[in-house]
Structure 1
């Protein structure tokens, strides 16, 4: 199988990736022989419960958003891994949705390749177990933050996950029901985010003025 056309920056990202840290040059070469490159334009779905492949992905360039329903779980940057939940799952409903927020390029490692590589390479196996342990800790902390999240955080999270071209049109009554908030709490959250210059409202239409600032509420 031909070696993937990776540039110098790609190699640096792979060498710094948590999965491949401290692994041998021979293993990196093997991965370039067994993996495949995939490209995703802005807005494309990379993974979803109804559309996913049994591959472990490494983001080489771009930015990905990970969501579960209306909840934004995280954003992925170059060097981050994704697809672990889909690699061996028999329950696709637990697969998160991953969307390209920027044009993205990913290295995909199929399940059969991962089986073989994990069996033969000790450092890779240890790195993968550390990664899975870190994900468990991250998701536990994320769940705790959701339990403690105020109305502003719930509203910010929903808007970031559901706006299209910077806007969302939704009646306040429907939005309050989706977020599990009273109308009074929702209007206080609107006021807080508007006064901070993060969003603006015109009737039922909500516009995000500062996406990066809104992420600070997550």
Structure 2
């Protein structure tokens, strides 16, 4: 897999974290980028490793997780194309910031890597851009709080409905057909992301299908009743 400069520009333009950059600032940042490819099951960094930089995913999937003392995996987030991760340690005070979790690819992936030293030099030279980036990180923190609320206050069907709505495309080239969501990660990973186990997740899928809210295929979920899913997610 390869990434042209145009593709990198498009990925950054579409990402809210970089949305406040002028074209010149964006080009200066692109010059710092290292394009990396990684096969499935590659550990990009581990919890506690020194922070060397952050990533923007172009292709593939990455899960961010912590391990309990008993070895149980807690999936904090599944990164999908167009999302960035591991920026927060760069803005921490103190020397030698570390990654707060482990990142591992779930499939062959193409990533943009922004080295810490070069990126922080860019921030020093472009303070207005840094303020925009910090604002985006604050918004992401609010999203993490909402995710914790969902895990603690809502049942698995409600969490699954919310997840499907969030992953559904905002528009379709075939408006007469129901929107579809790709099952782009293993069921065990999706279950962990939703704070449950695969068996319970399977029952939740079956319950939504029995309510005529979704239709399952081999690797896709058709959202046959989007409003019903929204009500389930909103009323939860």
2-structure distance, mates of 1:33, 1:194: 45
Residues paired across the two proteins, number = 181
Question: Is residue 113 of structure 1 aligned with residue 118 of structure 2?
Answer: yes
2-structure distance, mates of 1:143, 1:104: 28
Query: TM-score, normalization: structure 2?
Result: 0.59
2-structure distance, mates of 1:100, 1:6: 21
2-structure distance, mates of 1:191, 1:54: 38
> Any stretches of 5+ residues in structure 1 without a counterpart?
164-178, 180-185, 199-208
Choose from 141, 144, 148 the match for 2:149: 144
User: 1:82 is matched with which residue?
Assistant: 85
Choose from 57, 60, 78 the match for 2:58: 60
* CA displacement, residues 99-151 of structure 1 (integer Å, 9 cap, x when unaligned): 21221111111222222211222442122112210121011111112222447
2-structure distance, mates of 1:194, 1:60: 29
Question: Is residue 161 of structure 1 aligned with residue 214 of structure 2?
Answer: no
8 Å Cα contact 2:32/2:114 also seen in 1 = yes
RMSD (CA atoms) = 4.1
* CA displacement, residues 175-195 of structure 1 (integer Å, 9 cap, x when unaligned): xxxx8xxxxxx99x4883585
User: 1:125 is matched with which residue?
Assistant: 130
* CA displacement, residues 72-112 of structure 1 (integer Å, 9 cap, x when unaligned): 222222221111234356574x6122221221111111222
| Higher CA-based Rg | 1
Distance 1:161 1:30, change over 3 A: same
1-structure distance, mates of 2:218, 2:208: 7
